[in-house]
Amino acid sequence: MSTAFDIAIVGGGIAGASLAGAIGRDARVLLLEAEDQPGYHATGRSAAFWSETYGGPAIQPLTTASGPMLREPPDWLGGETFLAPRGELFIAADDDAAALDAFVAEFAGTGVALERVDPRVMLPGLRPHWTLGVYEPTCMDIDVARLHAAYLALARRSGARIETGAALVAACRSGEIWQLETRAGAFGAAILVDAAGAWADSVAGMAGVAPLGIAPLRRTMVQLRVDPPMAADAPLVRDGRDRFYFKPESGRVWLSPHDEVPDAPRDAAPEEIDVAVAIDRFESAVDWRIEAVERRWAGLRSFAPDRLPVYGFDPTAEGFFWFAGQGGFGIQTAPAAAALAASLLTGAAPPAWLAGVDPTMYAPARLR
């Protein structure tokens, strides 16, 4: 058995890839991915946007802190922006005014730009009962695939070893080393990082660590061809009560009913009822004609009981580090989350650009 690694990370999605990239120069890192290619599950099925309000006020500091690196990445992360202008339009009917007011109030004092607008001016074809709107101009599209690939490339350049087809089978602590059995062989590491997304609690169980209640929830996405086509520069549109969202994507519409259906860790697939609900809600919003449902897919978003991510060492298990529970905001917060986790893992001071992020909010001890 190899004991050459300081840190073994389970999970090669955006969480594991970004963390491997962040610490690869400071430690001997092993990244274990169960699938034949990293990012097959949640990372590869993202709706691909960066929104400072998405996830709520407790996530906003991570998202805001990540913005500059995503907009103007350093050369070691590719040097070319991962973001493109989009904007986000929240819509509501008159009887949902209180929900929209509460949303705006949540972000008062955070520095997030939110503007009251007439949504019918911004979105031709919007049905008449959608009379209220709030616009978030800073919302951007994210090139998810390129961001994930950039972190994997950074990890490789930094010396990290990436093993695919390496699903974890068993893990036990022997002295100061985690002994790991995988489908790609046996490995050893001083620290085991659980970045396994929907499988986070399962990985903990294999390691003899009590689960935190990180639950996978299914999110459905549908690609539509509509007439008239949605303008390429139209904003991401979200219902003020979070019952749906949709955005233009390569001449088509990407639509979600914003569902969160409890599921098991698996290769998730959409249910027909959820697709039907999505279409019904879309047709209640706009008068565009749906010409075809071209694609449908689903992904698993994983949440801790309080819906906050979990970053840090488990207080009950030596050398076991959680980097999980990132819901649907793991991609838009990747730079900040990885930098924060790297500082917690190595004991180094966090970078100055994380000054607005309180790591105690995300510590696993809060759930013990």
Residue 2 above 70 pLDDT? no
Q: pLDDT band for position 36 (50/70/90)?
A: confident
Residue 97 phi/psi, 5-degree rounding, is -60, -40
- The segment(s) of the chain belonging to CATH 3.30.9.10 are 88-137+216-303
> Is the Cβ–Cβ distance between 215 and 326 less than 8 Å?
no
Q: pLDDT band for position 1 (50/70/90)?
A: very low
CA nearest neighbour of 198 among 271, 249, 261 = 261
**Residue 42 pLDDT:** 65
**Residue 3 pLDDT:** 55
**Class of domain 5-52+144-214+305-367 (CATH, top level):** alpha beta
Name the residue with tokens 């992360």: 77
Our measurement of the distance from residue 73's CA atom to the centroid of its chain's CA atoms, rounded to an integer in Å, reads 19
Ranking 41-55, 277-291, 353-367 by mean pLDDT, the lowest is: 41-55
Name the residue with tokens 């097959």: 40
Determine the CATH number of domain 88-137+216-303: 3.30.9.10
Q: pLDDT band for position 40 (50/70/90)?
A: confident
pLDDT digits (tens, 9 = 90+) for 181-236: 999 999 999 999 999 999 999 999 999 999 999 999 999 999 999 999 999 999 99
* Paired tokens of 173: 């602590």
